[in-house]
A and B are shown apart, each in its own frame.
Chain A
Amino acid sequence: MTQSSSFWRKVIYISIIGLLLLPLSMLGQPSTKSAGSDLPDGGGVLAQMRQQEGLAQSSLGDIDPASETMKLATLGLKGVAVTILWDNANTYKDEENWEAFSATVNQIIKLQPNFITVWEYQAHNIAYNVSVEFDDYQARYDWVKKGLDFLIQGLAYNRRDYKILRNLGFFYGSKIGRSDERLQFRAMFRRDRDYHEMLGDYIPMGSEVSTLYGIDNWLVAKQWYDKAEDKVRDGVANLKSSHLMFYKDAPSQLRNCAMDLEEEFRPEEPARRKWSEALEAWNEYGNRALLTSWETELRLNDKATALEEFRRLQAALDQLAPGVRDQLLQERRKKLSPEQMAAFDKEPSKRTLEEVYLAMEAEGLVRVEDQEVADQVPSNQSDEGYRALRAIQQAGEDLRRIENYRSQTNYYYWLNRCEAEQSELNLEARAAMYDARALNEQTILTTTDQVDPLTGETTEKLGAKEMYEKAFEKWSEVFEAYPVLIDGVTAQELEESVREYRLVLERLVEPFPDPFVLDFVFARTGTGEYAQQLETMSNESRPSSGGK
């Protein structure tokens, strides 16, 4: 090989390298920032594509030098490094080495700071899975906070995301307020001053999140949900989930707060005020135009209007075929059994559970379809009849959609509940129940006479038994006034109180009252039989000196 051929070969190599650099430069040239502009512009094809798709690191969120250094240090083997770290994290978790687990998770996130699922998954892992491994509820609370802190860190890296904010709302609400240790968690959260101070860097921590008793986790959760809504409203993030569910979250936190306040403290003005705020927020939610999966908008509060329209159109059809609907209805009613007929004719709120089913069957049997009415419109008005039918079908569809959406969020129940809970009657019922529980805990089971040491006057102090009875009386009045609560969770909540009352009676060797003031409630919810079963069981196990 001659010297000259070697030289030319080198020249060719260098030329090829030089040529290859041109397309490389066109592709990979970084964008530059022009003076006075925050956003980078220009750059190679890749830089421009990143900018267009909003994938540039600077447009996703903060750039962390540690994170970037770590990514760089992996020399393009980020995927391998992340896989190893995930594997390590799982191993540490299995070995219950929580410190190492936590440190590894922090390393993973340095390599994948814009991967939202990683933030969500690992925050959930820490707050839900790791925290429960600890026997001490205080340690559990600390680990829940670690999970929350971890998720908060993700905000800075992902400014255009709303999911982390929603998750934060969910974690602050449900993990602190719905765990087995919720009483303890909420109490610790209320008094965690340093933590409140830290949260102040992200969300308003003034009166928005406070009640008379301190800062409330549900109200903090609402702030996170509000922030998520702000991002969507301001166009920073694109909403890619159900509008119905997305906008439900923030107002729900107010009633959760009110419910927990009633459980933890004697139900008084602060809880009532929260119910009032919850009603207002729920109404606002009902008035919001929600984009549906059919790509049309609807408002949950439009049900009455839609129903009115539907009925108006039906009436218009009926006018075209006078008496047809009634005639068909009467014919079909004749086919109902006497039980079905009785249940069908009974006022809905007075029906027992069995009657509810019978009435449902009856409704199916007697239903007159609009098509049947339209088919019987005189032939000279037939076209008009079918036009009316199509309008009815469209109105019916609109109504069904609204109803469907309302039932998904239990909208009507919560609307009524928020209203009912503000009433004096409800507050009295809840206060009596709270007092009854307190007396039960103090083992003051029945009424006692108490003598004032100063005046010598004797006063009668109600015991747990009488207080429970008073509470149940009040509750029966509440259910009379707001029958919708019977079908909701309120009646189910009362089951626990009835169980406590039953135990009080057992300790006093007294029978369960028959009839019971809330019989109509439990007959409706189907727990009447259960209550009777319990009664039978307790009677069987009781000595013969029992009440029966």
Chain B
Amino acid sequence: MGYEEFVSFADWLPSSLATFGLILVSCAFLGAILAYLVGIVRYGPSEAFYKLWEGIFQAFPDLLFTSPKRVAAIARLAIQETLRRRVLLVVFALFALALLFGGWFLDAGSDHPERTYLGFVLGGTQFLVLFLGLLISTASLPQDIQNKTIYTVVTKPIRAGEIIMGRVLGFLLIGTVMIGSMGLISYFFVVGGLNHRHSVDVSEFVRVNPDSTDTSSGRRASANAYYEALSTRNARHRHRIELVLQQLSRGEGGSIGSGLQTAIFYLQVQNESGHTHDFRSVGGNQELIAGGIKYTLFEEKIEQKSSGLLESLLNLFSESRYRVGLRMDVEEGIFENPEAMLAQRPLNEVLQEMNVTLVTSNPQEMLQARVPYYARELSYLDREGNITEERGMSVGKMNEKYGYIDGGTSLARAIYRFNGLRPGMFSDDRVAIDMNLRVFRTLKGDIIHRVTGSVYFRVTKEEDGRKITYETEPVVFESQEYSVQTLELSRNVVALWTDVEGNPARQEMDLLTEFADNGKFEVVLRCNEAGMYFGVAPSSVYFKLRDGSFALNFAKCFFGIWLQFMLISSLGVTLSSFLNASVSLLATVVALLIGFFGDFIRDVATQQIEGGGPLEATYRLITQMNVTSELEGTIRFVSYIDVLLVKLMEVMTYIIPDFTQMHTQGPLADGYNIPVGLVGFHTMVAFAFAMVLCIVGYFSLKTREIAA
């Protein structure tokens, strides 16, 4: 989820540029040596030396005086040629067919249908686009050379580099149009496929007790819920709608016994299939006076915070969000508790008399782009309260991403150190902490309630030469496993500390401006229950700054596919400048596989995956030999050959960029914003690689020209 270990673009660029320059120079030097060696074989040492220098000296003016006009002309030619081949039509038809019929098989009733939808469109687009890139880029130059149509070009005053760049540019323009249109169609396919509304029959509201399991749905009512109803069934699910108590105010003095004056409830749609809904506007406030109580059904528009012009613009097109609630006012305080107030008249009767129609909005918290602010560091305290080097405790799970802290009287804690949070990052005087925890029980415990934990803020400041530790009062929460739970907290916190005289002190402070020490403070997490454990990872706790635009996030993800297309196109064009069509196609496919399965190849090379290299694995497959059995006899020689092959493949993984990194489907589907810096990082890597490829293509085409 998200990118907790991502280095900012500003930090990454300077150091990477230096490394890139060094590698470029080294490659150029090695390339020159290689070219000279080949030249020796073909022309003899002195002639080769002469040709090498000639080539290098010609390269500078060729590259420096590249004519955009001629590049554009070649690009136009490449586009025309591609259009003539009708491959675009085939790819687009396949895409359209996939969307038309593939949609039938997508499981809209799963826990997270958005992941299924996004996986389908992004996976499909990526496959088709890369397939297109392969076909058009690898076949173009060899066909021209084979048909001798290349001579009509090279006889013109045009440079080899311009031919390469023009072709790459032409294919890129085609790819841009294709990916752009596919992205747009995919966006509407996903949004349209997932959008749905529910309505609520107000007569179906029935009374429930807070936190009770004795409800009409059999599900547990929220801690402050007093009524529940089920929505209509749509998209293969229903939602439970609860009337939850938000606020109570009493008469004079506000003490118990003075009677209630106002009770404010909200209608909340409970999460189902990984999403919830707001309500659509109920047409303004509606009032009813009955039994001495004034009932007001009200609606509040929920304001969306945006960052940047584009995000604000995109938010304009999104549906307005409303919160619908019921306010009950009594002139004289005759009711002591909300139950007594609600007993006066059933909610269903009140809403029926108001003639209210409740219809939900489209899904919320489904297609989102949370903007997280991650901690700089996560550390763990062990059971005795000492800082431990280990990443929490292991509870024996295969997934080692999460370290566990135990609860009860244990002093085990997870401490997230934040730095740099500013008031301007949040829309109002509240902060939101998102948590994505794992829970492990060593005993059955309370089945009905989820394991509880608490969160508090902590900071140590140096004052008058003394170190004082400030802590806030803990906020207790019930954990929600395998989902992101948000704790909305006021920025005004009550800080507790021990003063100079050793007396306990407390004071209200602003979390970000007063409590934090120059923007630094810690979020401390503990598990409250004995025998229970919380599993945490660095990305498990973060501050949610806002909800970004999903459309923009979607576009960033498609941009990643575009970068992959660019890499494939430039690789295909470069390889086809010195290989024939089928060989360059094969070579590009191999490069693509290395780009996608680099991790796997490295695991094979470092023998983390058993079974040996390609030859040994083939032998084992054919003979149905176990991967752990040793090869015996003369056949062992294949493993020696494999060492060389695997090493070669491993080296290639460091040369060819990791294509999977540019595929940002994971955070998009999980609902996390893809950082602009990350997109910049991917862009730089892809452009640098494409540039190097163009230079290689230039030299190889030039060599080929000479040979021709």
Shortest Cβ gap from A352 to chain B (Å): 35
CB distance from B307 to the nearest CB of A (A): 29
Whether the pair B398, A99 counts as a contact (CB closer than 8 A) is no
In chain A, what residue has the closest Cβ to B480? A136
A138 touches B441 (CB 8 A): no
Closest to B104 in A: A66
Q: Are B110 and A96 in contact (CB under 8 A)?
A: no
Q: Which of B101-129 contact A (CB under 8 A)?
A: 105, 107, 110-112, 115-116
In the bound complex, what is the Cα–Cα distance between A184 and B447 (angstroms)?
9
A95: which B residues are within 8 A, CB to CB? 398-399, 401
Asked if B441 contacts A135 (CB within 8 A), the reply is yes
**27 A-B residue pairs with CB within 8 Å:** A66-B105, A94-B398, A95-B398, A95-B401, A96-B399, A98-B111, A99-B111, A102-B110, A103-B107, A134-B481, A135-B441, A136-B450, A136-B481, A138-B219, A139-B481, A180-B444, A181-B447, A184-B213, A184-B447, A187-B213, A188-B217, A188-B218, A188-B219, A189-B218, A190-B218, A191-B216, A194-B233
* Besides A99-B115, A134-B481, 6 new A-B residue pairs in contact (Cβ under 8 A), listed by A number: A135-B439, A135-B481, A136-B480, A136-B481, A137-B447, A189-B218
B residues contacting the other copy or chain, number (CB 8 A): 33
Interface flag for A192 (CB, 8 Å): yes
Within 8 A of A (CB), among B467-481: 479-481
Alpha-carbon distance A438/B554, docked complex (angstroms)? 56
B421 at interface, CB cutoff 8 A: no
Contact check, B447 vs A98: say whether CB atoms are below 8 A apart: no
CB distance from B640 to the nearest CB of A (A): 27
Residue from A96, A103, A136, A192 within 8 A of B218 (CB atoms): A192
Hey, which chain B residues are within 8 Å of A98, CB to CB? 111, 482
- For A68-109 the 0/1 string (1 means CB < 8 A from B) is 000000000000000000000000001110110011001000
Across-interface contacts of A66 in B (CB, < 8 A): 105
Number of A-B contacts (CB under 8 A): 61
Instruction: Say yes or no: is B438 at the interface (Cβ < 8 Å to chain A).
Output: yes
Please give, as numbers and ranges, the residues of chain B lying within 8 Å of A99 by CB-CB distance: 110-112, 115-116
Q: CA of A98 to CA of B480 in the docked complex: distance in angstroms?
A: 15
* Tally of A interface residues using CB under 8 Å: 26
Contact, CB under 8 Å: B105 / A96: no
The dominant DSSP class at the B interface is loop
Shortest Cβ distance from residue A96 to the other chain B in the assembled complex, whole angstroms: 5
Q: Complex formed: what's the CA distance from A410 to B451 in Å?
A: 40
Contacts of A106 in B (CB 8 A): 107
Which of A139, A180, A188, A190 makes the CB contact (< 8 A) with B447?
Answer: A180
A111, chain B: closest CB distance, angstroms: 14
Q: Top 10 closest A-B pairs, CB basis?
A: A94-B398, A191-B218, A188-B218, A135-B439, A135-B481, A187-B218, A96-B399, A135-B450, A95-B399, A181-B447
Q: Which of chain B's residues have a CB closer than 8 A to the CB of A136?
A: 450, 480-481
Closest Cβ of chain A to B104, distance in Å, is: 9
Chain A residue, CB-CB nearest to B219: A138
In Å, the complex CA distance between A389 and B184 comes to 91
Point out the residues of chain A lying under 8 angstroms from B438, CB to CB.
Answer: 96
Type the 1/0 row for B75-110, where 1 means its CB is closer than 8 Å to any CB of A.
000000000000000000000000000000101001
- Nearest CB to that of B444 among chain A residues? A180
Q: Complex formed: what's the CA distance from A94 to B398 in Å?
A: 5
Find chain A residues with CB under 8 A from B401 CB.
95
Q: Give A96 to B481 CA distance when docked, in angstroms.
A: 11
How far is it, in angstroms, between the C-alpha of A66 and the C-alpha of B215 when the chains are bound? 40
A462 to B116, CA, bound (A): 59
In whole angstroms, how far apart are the Cα atoms of A17 and B438 in the complex?
63
Q: Is the CB of A134 within 8 A of B220?
A: no
> Which of A103, A139, A184, A191 meets B217, CB within 8 Å?
A191
Within the complex, the shortest CB–CB distance from A338 to chain B, in Å, comes to 50
Query: B residues within 8 A CB of A180?
Result: 444, 447
B599 to chain A, nearest CB (A): 13
| A392 CA to B401 CA, complexed, in Å | 70
Residues of B within 8 A of A94 (CB): 398-399
Given contacts A96-B438, A98-B482, A99-B112, contact A138 B220 (CB under 8 A): yes
CA distance in complex: A194, B230 (Å) = 11
**Least Cβ distance of B557 to chain A in Å?**
18
Which residues on the B side are within 8 Å of A139 (C-beta)? 481-482
Contact indicator per residue, chain B 226-251, by CB within 8 Å of chain A (1) or not (0): 00000001000010000000000000
A window 211-247: CB within 8 A of B: none
CB distance from B351 to the nearest CB of A (A): 22
B448 / chain A contacts, CB cutoff of 8 Å: 137, 184
Q: Chain B 391-417 against A: per-residue CB contact (8 Å), 1 yes, 0 no?
A: 000000111010000000000000000
Q: Report the minimal beta-carbon distance from B626 to chain A, rounded to whole angstroms.
A: 14
Q: A463–B439 Cα gap in the complex (Å)?
A: 39
Assembly CA distance A66 to B238 (angstroms): 28
1/0 per position for B442-460, CB-CB distance to A under 8 A? 0010011011000000000
Task: Report A400-446 residues with CB < 8 Å from chain B CB.
Answer: none
Among residues of B, the one whose C-beta sits closest to the C-beta of A180 is B444
- Give the CA-CA distance A187 to B116 in the complex, in Å: 31
Chain B hits for A189, CB < 8 A = 218
C-alpha spacing A187/B444, complex, angstroms? 19
Residues of B within 8 A of A96 (CB): 397, 399, 438, 482
Report chain B residues within 8 Å CB of A142: 111
The residues of A that contact B397 with a CB separation of less than 8 Å are 96
Q: Which residues of B contact A138 (CB under 8 A)?
A: 219-220
Q: How far is the CB of B176 from chain A (nearest CB, A)?
A: 30
Query: Which parts of A259-280 form the interface with B (CB within 8 Å)?
Result: none
- Residues on A with C-beta less than 8 A from B215 are 191
For A191, the chain B residues whose CB sits under 8 A away are 215-218
Pairwise interchain contact B116-A103, C-beta atoms closer than 8 A: yes
Q: Give A180 to B446 CA distance when docked, in angstroms.
A: 11
Chain B residues positioned under 8 Å from A135 (CB to CB):
439, 441, 450-451, 479, 481
Q: Roughly how many angstroms separate A69 CA and B86 CA in the complex, as a whole number? A: 26
Q: Which residue of B lies closest to A188 (CB)?
A: B218
Residues of A close to B214: CB separation below 8 A: 187
Shortest distance between the CB of A127 and any CB in chain B (Å):
15
The closest CB in chain B to the CB of A143 belongs to B111
Cα separation A492 to B475 with both chains bound (whole Å):
44
Residues of B within 8 A of A181 (CB): 447
Give the nearest-CB partner of A179 in chain B: B447
Chain A 182-209: CB-based contact to B (< 8 A → 1; otherwise 0): 0010011111101000000000000000
Chain B residues, Cβ within 8 Å of A134: 481-482
Shortest beta-carbon distance from A535 to chain B in Å: 26
Q: How far is the CA of A106 from the CA of B106 in the complex (A)?
A: 11
Q: Which residue of B lies closest to A103 (CB)?
A: B116
Which residues of chain A have C-beta atoms less than 8 A from B217's C-beta?
188, 191
Q: How far is the CA of A88 from the CA of B107 in the complex (A)?
A: 19
A305 to B116 alpha-carbon distance, docked (Å): 64
A153 to chain B, nearest CB (A): 12
- Rounded to whole Å, the gap between the CB of B546 and the closest CB of chain A is 26
Q: Measured between C-beta atoms, what is the minimum distance from B93 to chain A in Å?
A: 18
Complex Cα distance, B450 from A135, in Å, reads: 6
Residues of A within 8 A of B218 (CB): 187-192
